[in-house]
Each structure stands twice: as C-alpha cells, then as structure tokens.
Amino acid sequence: MKQADRPDAPPNDEARLLPPLEIYRMPGHLIRRMHQASQAIFDSEMAKAGCELTSVQFGALTAIAARPGLDQATLATAIVFDRVTTGGVVDRLEAKGLVRREIAKGDRRSRRLHLQPAGQVALAEAKPIVRVIQSKMLAGLSTREKATLVRLLEKALETVGNTRRVPLRVVGRET
C-alpha cells in the first residue's frame, strides 16, 4: 500500500480540499504516527550503517551494559516489555554472540545477563548512530522544542504510564 493510499496518511493535494479529519489533532493518533515514523527512521538508519540491531535490542544492550548481571525479569522491567518478549530478545542477542546468560548463584531459575565483548563493540558502534536517529526523529523542532516535547511526554507518562500492559518501573530508583 502506498503512503498516499493509507487511511491515516497526511492529506494529498486532492484531499486538501476536504476538511481535515478530527483524528489529525488527536494525541493518540499523532503518537501512533510518530511511533511509526520513528521506527522507520531507526530501521532505515541502522540498515544504512550496517548495524543489525533492532530498537528493542539496542535498549536491552544499553540496560545490560549499565547494570551488568541484571536478571531477565529486571531487564524486562527496565525496557518496559513483558518477560516473554524480553526472553526472545535475549535469545536473539545471545545467538548473535552479544550477550551471555549465567545461572544466578543461589537461584538456579534466574539468569544473569552480561555483555560479551562483541556486545560491547556493537553497543559502542550503535550509540552514535542512535544519537543521530534521535535528532532526525525530531528534525522539525528547535532544541528548546525537543526538550519541551520530551519533558511533556515524561509528564504525560507519569500519569498514564501504568495503564499500559507493562508498567514502567525505573530500575535502580527507589520507589
């Protein structure tokens, strides 16, 4: 389906003659479209750079690097994904040789996660690309507007963040 044929596509020249749809001003619709755009930018820029990490894998590597030895349940909480999905992410990272699991001392059911040397290299190579991606996602905004948008999104999530399937609990912060 071409962009112009999608029901939520921005109006083309012909559609500009019609009144805009109410959904074009709804936060939920705009957030969904922004997520789609941000994911497309992420995927495209990472592919151009030859980096074979998804946004979720990048998030997982970032969390594991920041907290070596964290368990999968804590990783799931940190990246705000359910445990099953996070387990699959870790499976793929392990298959790529980027992460290793170790059985936790004292709890054989728990697996502690550590970056492999290849994971450290992959993360170091991905970070500057991801910084560029973040900038491209908000290219139409000034530096001040970008900071304001992030602050407002954080504020909105403080109120509604626990209504989603997986509530965010900031790992390492006392609650």
> Where along the chain do its domains lie?
13-159
CA distance 20 to 70: 48
Provide the pLDDT for residue 127.
97
CA distance 33 to 11: 14
- Tens digit of each residue's pLDDT (9 = 90 or more) over 122-135: 999 999 999 999 99
Q: Is the pLDDT of residue 6 over 90?
A: no
Provide the pLDDT for residue 5.
46
Provide the pLDDT for residue 160.
84
> With bands split at pLDDT 50, 70 and 90, how would you rate the model's confidence at 11?
low
- Which residues lie closer than 8 Å to 161 by C-beta, 6 or more apart? 167, 168
Provide the pLDDT for residue 115.
97
CA distance 95 to 98: 8
Provide the pLDDT for residue 1.
42
Q: Is the pLDDT of residue 9 over 90?
A: no
Q: Is the pLDDT of residue 175 over 50?
A: no
- Tens digit of each residue's pLDDT (9 = 90 or more) over 67-110: 999 999 999 999 989 899 999 999 999 999 999 999 878 777 78
Q: Provide the CATH topology of domain 13-159.
A: Arc Repressor Mutant, subunit A (1.10.10)
- Tens digit of each residue's pLDDT (9 = 90 or more) over 18-64: 788 898 999 999 999 999 999 999 999 999 999 999 999 999 999 99
Tokens of 113: 């996660």
Provide the pLDDT for residue 8.
56
